[in-house]
Chain A
Amino acid sequence: MARLLFEGLTRVFSIEVLPWLALMLPFGGFLVLSLFGDWIRKDREERGAGVLSCCTVLLSFLIAVATAFMLGDAGRDLEQQRQSLNLPQRQGPYLPFQAYLAVDWIDVSGLSIPVALLLDRLASVMMLVVTGVSFLIHVYSLGYMARDEDRVRYFSYLNLFVFFMLLLVMATNLLMVFVGWEGVGLCSYLLIGFWFKRPDAAAAAKKAFIVNRVGDAGLILGLIMAYHAFGTLDLLSITDHIGGLAPERLGELGIVTVIALLLFLGACGKSAQLPLHVWLPDAMEGPTPVSALIHASTMVTAGVYLVARLAPLYRQSETAMLVVAVIGVLTAFVAATIALVQTDIKKVLAYSTVSQLGFMFLACGVGAFGAAVFHLVTHAFFKALLFLSAGSVIHALGGEQDMRRMGGLARRLPWTFWTFVIGAASLAGLPFLAGFFSKDMILEGTFATGRTAIFVTALLAALLTAVYITRLVCLAFLGASRLDAEKTAHAHESPWVMTIPLVLLAVGSATAGFVPLPDMLRPVMHGAASESRAVRWIPYAATTLSLFGIMLAAYLYLLYKETPARLASALPWIRRALEAKWGFDDLYNAFVRRVLVSGGRRILWRAVDSFLIDGTVNATARAVGSAAETLRSAQTGLVRGHALLVLGGAVALVVYLLWPR
């Protein structure tokens, strides 16, 4: 009996089953919460929902840790097997697991898509980040959402999100990636619009969804093209066999380039890259923990994950790499400039996220895929921290988000302040904090490609990063208090369920840089010469720039507070451009309103239907004269319109068919 139990347990706790368990636990949480939500709601304290959802994610995290260790052993075992069988050595110890719960989802005439999980070092790292950060944010939400009416719904969505995100990072094939991709998009939509009674929140949710559809169209097309080109959607088959294709020369739009660019379009939508970045700042209408989890540390990095996962594909196409790098660096720069003038504390952080995602894509574009994932991980820590600290501020001030009505909060909220400062310093890239290592690695990679313009823009963006985050710290936490008297009395440090996650994330933000992640990931990315070494002076230059930026911001926003206003009035066009966020929103609004909506109304409805059809009909009627008048009283105009349309269509068809060739 005991032996049977033991055997059963070892079978469950094997590397084939555990990932499934990690995946399905949050989904189970979602099911329980959404099906038995009414029952849980009867418990007035309503702790149950939050605690349940925290537990499922904590278990997933523990499993992720366990599988990460088992992965090393399994890799060794496989290597030994290979050696004993005299198989050729692979470049490194990475291995896929097609777990035995796999079923064929689609299997028809050559298109075979199994549902199975892929677990290698990259997936393992992503699992750790997703479940770890999610757990801390779940705990934080217990405090932050404590007084919200609809916590059950909130936690059920959050659990559903974790499920889809894990599905995305553990998917073996592009179609499963796509399912996870749409799933996290759905959760993002639901959670941005969580407070749907606010019109802004509902509008922001819709905007996020629609902008993402543009990207998704690219992703689907890329997926179809990939299947067309490679005959498979399996990620490992694609990355393993890509070397067999002939490398393409710059400027030629070969199939690999097209696929890479289409998939990158999808990544641009999800990861808010130029010109599809407009939804992310608006997405800040959601609850702050959601901004921290979905719109800063996990979902928005899915695009980076996809590009990094397909690193061997992207390496084949110089054109695609260049596009990725240029879009990335431009986004990094443009978003950083917009962040300079935002007054809403969450909007600054949102643009900062866009900018940092730009850095990650820059890293991909210059071939430093390991650095991109490294920055993804460190960014997950410090940006989640920054958002949660900002949430703590908002919580303390009863919903105030405008930095012009903050100031001097450092004394009132000491824990929040110090954790925020650590996160900010990590973002600015001060030495030996996590952000320093990853950003330095990106800059080195960029320098190594020898594209000076990109490198200089990246340096400028790094400088601006230090400036805007220091500005935020100065305006919100330092200087004189600009709070209302009522709010001043009310301002209090957050409860421990909120501060403990802050402290843990602060520890992560400070130390995550010491993990030699890029080296660990190199086998997955199929190695690379270009991720190579140390130009000595870059760390010093970057540090000097950061310090300069910090001092500049402190000078402008603490000591000489009139200077920014004077600068702004001296250079009005820059201010206008920045405050209009470089005009992207206006451009899209104009396009949608003028071209699509009114085009639909005016051209198709008013012009085609009313004017063209009815007009022609009426004109014919007048020409036919009095005989037609009697007919007109017997028929409605519309029927004749319909018949005329049929006739016109028939004539067009016949003319086409009989047209001599």
Chain B
Amino acid sequence: MTIDFRPALPALIVALTGVVALVIDAFTPRAGRSRTQSVCLTGLAAALLVTFSLPVRIGCPACSPLTGGSVVSDTWSVALQALVLVVGMLALPLSTAYFRAIDQDRGEQNALIMFAIAGMLGLVSSVELISLFISLEIMSVALYALTGSRRARSDSQEAALKYFVTGAFSSAFFLYGVAWLYGVSGGTTFDRIASTLASPLGGNVGCALLASGFLLVGFGFKIAAVPFHSWAPDAYQGAPTSVTAFMSTAVKVAAFGALTRVFHGALFPLADRWIPLLAALAVLTMIVGNVSALAQRDLKRMLAYSSVAHAGYVMTALVSQPPQAAAAVFIYLVAYSVTNLGAFGVLAVLAKDGKEPLTLADISGMARRRPFLSAAMAVFLVSLTGVPLTAGFIGKLRVFAAAISADHAVLALVGLLMSAVSAYYYLRVVVAMYMEPPQDEDRWANVTGAAGLVIALCALAVLMLGVFPERLFAWAQTAAQTFR
């Protein structure tokens, strides 16, 4: 039997780059700054190139046995892998800038980001439950370490511990769900599961439902859907801000990619049972996320609850039929990633001498001192609100349209109302930046170099996607061809 390793190549390249980065740092004088950023960026770029050059087979959700049927390269995996890699490439310079600002640039964070990305790449290309779970854990373990990587700060440690303990708890649920599904179908590949579930199940239907419930718990934890979201505010607040930027975007992309594949691929025969559940979770997530964000004074915590709310918006798309749902999910993930990465990125790059903006008061009057950064932040916040001509609007348009087309207009209604609510807390930040007197002393860093370029690119992408969404729609349509 020959095994085709090609679909796993991007993940392997990225993981190898991480190892190389570790080795390089081991031989670098300790006082010096880490030099691995360019190595890691090269690795990601190579992985991106390989992702696009792999043969893509269209139209099989859980496809034939390449690499023993564990990992495939189809349109959905290519699209999401590309998105994860791009997000990673944008996040790396932010991370370097931030860790330099807190004087802890030792290179290990770059390696950890690489390992997390390797896990994510596996996650979105797995068509089999064991490799899916392993990828999930590779990603998660790296993230736990990243969350706690600001070692001097106790809140970073605390956040990592909380994230780890609850994460392990939810992984247990996930694995239990995997076991039940194996028990029902006698296999772990998605096509096997789908064909078993499509045939009459008899008494086993209860077991299958139990399994899908457990899987939903596991995924719900990773995407921070209410009521599995409670780790997110603590972890997002305690983690180094650049890690939060990466975590709040790339993890959601990977987890939603896998969630879509599992529920719209393997578990679709049970759709009429889990769709109401997803709808209810979406409503709950949108409401709790947005209303909790209203009451926050800490900026990172506010954005954390906002990320929870955005998971709810994505979930509204999942109630529709496969190709449309997948396309809407992808569009929203692209729009949300560039926007949220930018928003957290602005907070990260402002850090200087170990201090960073934490509250509204810290950024009041920022527009006078940092006009470009403030303008970029305003663009991100406006996009998160969902105002037309920004990526956020295009994303919301598509997910709500998907929900309405599936006769779940209530979801769209809740989403719209909650978007109106969200305008309040996003707007507060803009008001603080533009309409309040600046502070006496200038405490924040001057942004230059790669990090500034990343912010500019994100802002540009938000506007370009908002004004010319055509290309994005086309990509999404291609990506969704897997689900036909």
Residues of A within 8 A of B (CB): 104-109, 175, 178-179, 182, 193, 196-197, 202, 205-206, 209-210, 213-214, 216-217, 220-221, 224, 228, 596-597, 599-601, 604-605, 613, 635-636, 638-639, 641-643, 645-650, 652-654, 656-658
Contacts and interface: CB of A to CB of B under 8 A. Distances in A.
B431 A108 contact: no
Nearest to A635: B165
Q: Which 6 A-B pairs have the closest CB atoms?
A: A196-B435, A649-B227, A213-B420, A657-B209, A642-B230, A108-B473
A193 to B, nearest CB: 6
Interface string B258-282: 0000000000000001101100000
Interface stretch (B44-52, B76-84, B195-203, B211-219): B211-219
A224 B404 contact: yes
A74 B401 CA distance: 39
Nearest to B225: A649
A104 B221 CA distance: 40
Given A179-B389, A206-B431, A604-B288, A658 B231 contact: no
15 contacts: A106-B470, A109-B477, A193-B431, A193-B435, A202-B431, A202-B435, A224-B412, A638-B234, A642-B162, A643-B165, A646-B221, A650-B213, A653-B217, A657-B209, A657-B274
Given A108-B470, A213-B423, A604-B288, A645 B413 contact: no
Given A224-B400, A600-B294, A650 B214 contact: yes
B273 to A, nearest CB: 6
A600 to B, nearest CB: 5
A658 B213 CA distance: 9
A560 B169 CA distance: 81
Interface residues of B, number: 59
B427 A658 contact: no
Contacts of B216: 653
Given A175-B388, A213-B423, A639-B166, A657 B413 contact: no
A492 B170 CA distance: 75
A224 B467 contact: no
Contacts of B401: 224
B427 A197 contact: no
B445 interface: no
B388 A178 contact: yes
Contacts of A179: 388-389
B409 to A, nearest CB: 9
Main secondary structure of the interface of B (DSSP, over half): helix
Interface of B: 158, 161-162, 165-166, 169-170, 173, 206, 209-210, 212-214, 216-217, 220-221, 227-228, 230-231, 234, 273-274, 276-277, 288, 291-292, 294-295, 387-389, 400-401, 404, 412-413, 416-417, 419-420, 423-424, 427, 431, 434-437, 467-470, 473-474, 477
Nearest to B161: A639
Contact of A645 (B161, B227, B400): B227
Given A179-B389, A193-B435, A648-B227, 7 more contacts: A106-B469, A179-B388, A210-B423, A600-B295, A635-B165, A643-B169, A658-B210
Contacts of A600: 291-292, 294-295
A206 B436 contact: no
A3 B469 CA distance: 41
A658 B273 CA distance: 9
Contacts of B291: 596, 599-600, 604
Given A106-B473, A604-B288, A646 B169 contact: yes
B173 A650 contact: yes
A220 B387 CA distance: 11
Given A104-B470, A217-B420, A646-B227, A604 B292 contact: yes
B228 A646 contact: yes
Given A193-B435, A657-B210, A657-B274, A642 B231 contact: yes
